[in-house]
Amino acid sequence: MPDAVARSAFSIDYASLYEKGFRGIIFDIDNTLVLPDAPADERAIHLIGDLQEKGFSVVILSNNTGERVTSFAKAVGAVCVEKALKPLPDGYRKAVALLGLPEEKIFAVGDQIYTDIWGANRAGIKAVLTEPFTLREEIQIVIKRMLEKPVKARCRKTGVPGIDRAEESGDTGS
């Protein structure tokens, strides 16, 4: 289960999280920071740079490999873990080591419950679930999205807190 939900990675109230003592962020790429398979865009570059200026350390964590992950991380100015094998916790543990922070000072941001959120949970890291930019995805992800529906309904029922900035609560991340 996510610890919080947000419309997008761009609408999260990062100042509030910083005030609560968080200093490290682990980001997924596809459908979290950009459209699937898209390169880093100005919006993602600005977000990561702004977060680093505010005192956050950032790691990009992806199940993708090679050039996709390393070029994205380089473009946004962050370090990365590729071939993370989410939801296994090992990729998250590598990201924690790169951040050099205790798990309780780190949170993960991602759009998929059964990879990003579950992996963070298994590694003992807080997790923020975002809405995906698009639902036009590979078939295996479409199937996962169908399986996510009951979990999202439970989140709404149990009152998982929203973490959007009030002035941008309508931001869809597009």
Let me know if residue 75 belongs to a domain. Answer: yes
Residue range(s) defining the domain that contains residue 101: 4-165
pLDDT score at 172: 37
Let me know if residue 151 belongs to a domain. Answer: yes
Closest listed residue to residue 66, CA positions, set 81, 50, 77: 81
Sign of CA dihedral 150, 151, 153, 154: positive
Let me know if residue 95 belongs to a domain. Answer: yes
Let me know if residue 171 belongs to a domain. Answer: no
Q: Copy the structure tokens of residue 9.
A: 């990675």
Let me know if residue 170 belongs to a domain. Answer: no
pLDDT score at 114: 84
Q: Write the pLDDT tens digit of every residue in 7-64.
A: 999 999 999 999 999 999 999 999 999 999 999 999 999 999 999 999 999 999 999 9
Total-model pTM: 0.84
Let me know if residue 172 belongs to a domain. Answer: no
Q: Structural domain tally of the chain?
A: 1
Sheet holding 106-110, edge to edge: 4-6, 126-130, 106-110, 24-27, 57-61, 79-81
Let me know if residue 174 belongs to a domain. Answer: no
pLDDT score at 142: 61
Let me know if residue 47 belongs to a domain. Answer: yes
Provide the pLDDT confidence category of residue 1 given band limits of 50, 70 and 90. confident
Q: The domain spanning residue 105 has which CATH number? A: 3.40.50.1000
Closest listed residue to residue 58, CA positions, set 46, 68, 36, 73: 73
